[in-house]
Structures are given as structure tokens and as C-alpha cells.
Amino acid sequence: MPQPVAGEEDAVPTSPNIISAIPGGVRSDPDGVASPENVTLITWKDSRDADRTLALGGYLYQYTFSFDDGQQVVTRTANDDAYGHAGFGYVVSHNLQNGNSPLGKANVPATVETKFFSSGHHAVHQVELVYDRDKEPGGRGIAIPVIIGWFVATGRDHPVWSVTWRMGAAANPQSVDFDEYRMDVRGPYGSLNFDGAAGRSAGDAIGGVAWGDCGFRFSTTDGQLTLNSPWTYDAFNTVNFVQAWTAATNAEMGIVQSRSTDKEMGYQDRVVGRERGGTSLQNYPDKSDCTGWADPRNYIMPCVAGWPIS
């Protein structure tokens, strides 16, 4: 049985659907970027009263769950045997000074702890680390404390991911003016083999992608994603999200923001000055011209370098 948060006087009560956290052994990073670490298997009951399990250390290695597609119950394991940057839920930052963008999973966490609320039906897996913003030779030595939280609750399907960048406690040995220093913060970052294939080379093709901002929803409209997929970007939307789904297998992955009407849109030229509010059939300024993104190709989809990624 999981233990209560330190300092609580009452033990977590026994319950048929209490959240559990047990050792999950050592997991290694397929990319070889992160050091091998012990993970915790956190299991809770979802809205169908079925088990869901996260294999968590400094980031997510595996997510196992099931769903009812109307014909059968499908069990899916999304794992880190994936193309791209394996694993999920770490942080990344890019800057404009030198383009350096180190993967946060390379930084060994100072603290990894799973905390339970007194009822035992809510838990937070908390990761504390120092992110090396400029660790390359000739960098400015900026290092930023980061706190990442994974929240799960009985009766809820998916975890809630949160992050705090403690800029006030950042190491800044060269006294860089943070009002002038330009960097972004990206997360949850990474890749998972979300269709449940045995390995990264056996996965299904991507069927389509979608994203939404505080006004409109973008979605491809054909059966398999290509650079010439038709799309719409004129449906009403309020909560920011990104989503991808497979062409044949019944699988999808997405991130939904936990607040509505967030007007931060990232690449303004992409989502304000061009496609946003229209469709691929319409004309708009600089249609199919991606030369500003160092992309000489001509295609129907929005310029790849301008897609939302988190």
C-alpha cells in the first residue's frame, strides 16, 4: 500500500481503487542521452474502472492503458521504442544566440518522488532537476532549476503534466540580461511509440494531425498524412491542443492544455498571417512559400517548421 506524504498523521486508508506505486526496475534511454534509472510503476483506476500504469522516473518511459472502441476492449502500451527523442515529459529550450537546444532528460534529477494525498486517490510524481541551458563549449553557463509534476487521480483517464521554471534561482555566471536573452521553453517533450507496435520500425503510418488555438482548430482531412494533405483551419476552438493519429491502427496521441483561451500562438506568421481561419482550398498570402523557413519545397500543408509541437 502506498505511504502518505511525510508529515501526515493518518495512514492512507485501504480502498479497492487506491492508487499504487511500486518499483519498476531499471530503465535505459534508447537514445543513450539519459542515464539508466530506477522507475516507479504508478497504477490507478480510470473512468472505466480499468487499470492505467505509468512507468516514471525523471520522465515517462511507458504508458499502459485500455479503451473500449465500441466493438472490443483494446489494451495499448505506448513505449519509448520510438523515432525522434525517446521518452516523454522532459523539457527542452532553444535560444536565438546559438540555437543550442539540450534535451532535459540528460540532466540527472536531484529528486524523484511520488507523493500521495491523504485519501490515496490522488498522487503527484514530482521531478526536480537543474536544466543546463548553455552547457556547450563557449556557452554562458546558464542553468535553470526545473520542477516537473505528473498528477493522476482515481476516475480520470490521463495524467496532468505541469512544469515550473525557477528563473529567479537560475545560475547566471556571466550576468546575462534575461530581458535581452531570448529562449523558449518546450514541454512535455519527447516521442512515444503510441500505436503499440512491437518496435519503432513496425509502427503504423500517421493518418493525420490536428491542433487548436484560442480561436480556430486545424485538422488534416485525408486518410494518411503527407505534405500535400488537404486541411481546414476554420473550425471554432477554445482550448489549445495538439494531436496525431495513425492511418490504420486505432491509436492517437495528443496534449491538451489545462486552461482555455490562451492567446499564446507561437509562430505568429504561421497562425495569424497565413493559414489561420481558412482552408487549403483558399488563397492566402505566400501560399506554399516556405523559403522563409529555409525550406525550398512547395506543398499544400503549412510549412513544417511552423507547426505547433507542444
Distances (CA, A) of 274 to 141, 211, 270, 271: 38, 15, 6, 6
Q: Are residues 257 and 215 in the same domain?
A: yes
Q: Are residues 148 and 219 in the same domain?
A: no
Beta bridge partners of 52: 44
Q: Are residues 244 and 309 in the same domain?
A: yes
Residues of the chain with pLDDT under 50: 1-10, 310
Q: Are residues 227 and 297 in the same domain?
A: yes
pLDDT at 69: 92
Task: Out of 149, 173, 195, pick the residue that ends a domain.
Answer: 195
Counting the structural domains of the chain, the total is: 2
Q: Are residues 110 and 137 in the same domain?
A: yes
One-letter amino acid for residue 225 of the chain: L
Average pLDDT value over all residues in the chain: 89
Q: Are residues 76 and 221 in the same domain?
A: no
- pLDDT tens column, 156-173: 999 999 999 999 999 999
Radius of gyration, alpha carbons of the chain: 21
Q: Are residues 217 and 137 in the same domain?
A: no
Q: Are residues 78 and 100 in the same domain?
A: yes
Please report, for the chain, how many H helices and E strands are present, in that order: 1, 16
- With a CB cutoff of 8 Å and minimum separation 6, the contacts of 43 are 19, 20, 21, 22, 51, 52, 53
pLDDT at 2: 43
CB 290 within 8 A of CB 303: yes
Q: Are residues 189 and 208 in the same domain?
A: no
| Domain range enclosing 253 | 204-310
Task: Out of 195, 218, 244, pick the residue that ends a domain.
Answer: 195
The rounded distance, in Å, linking the Cα atoms of 81 and 93 is: 23
Q: Are residues 99 and 131 in the same domain?
A: yes
- With a CB cutoff of 8 Å and minimum separation 6, the contacts of 188 are 88, 89, 90, 91, 161, 163, 255, 310
Q: Are residues 149 and 228 in the same domain?
A: no
pLDDT at 199: 85
Task: Out of 173, 195, 217, pick the residue that ends a domain.
Answer: 195
Q: Are residues 187 and 290 in the same domain?
A: no
- pLDDT tens column, 252-265: 999 999 887 777 76
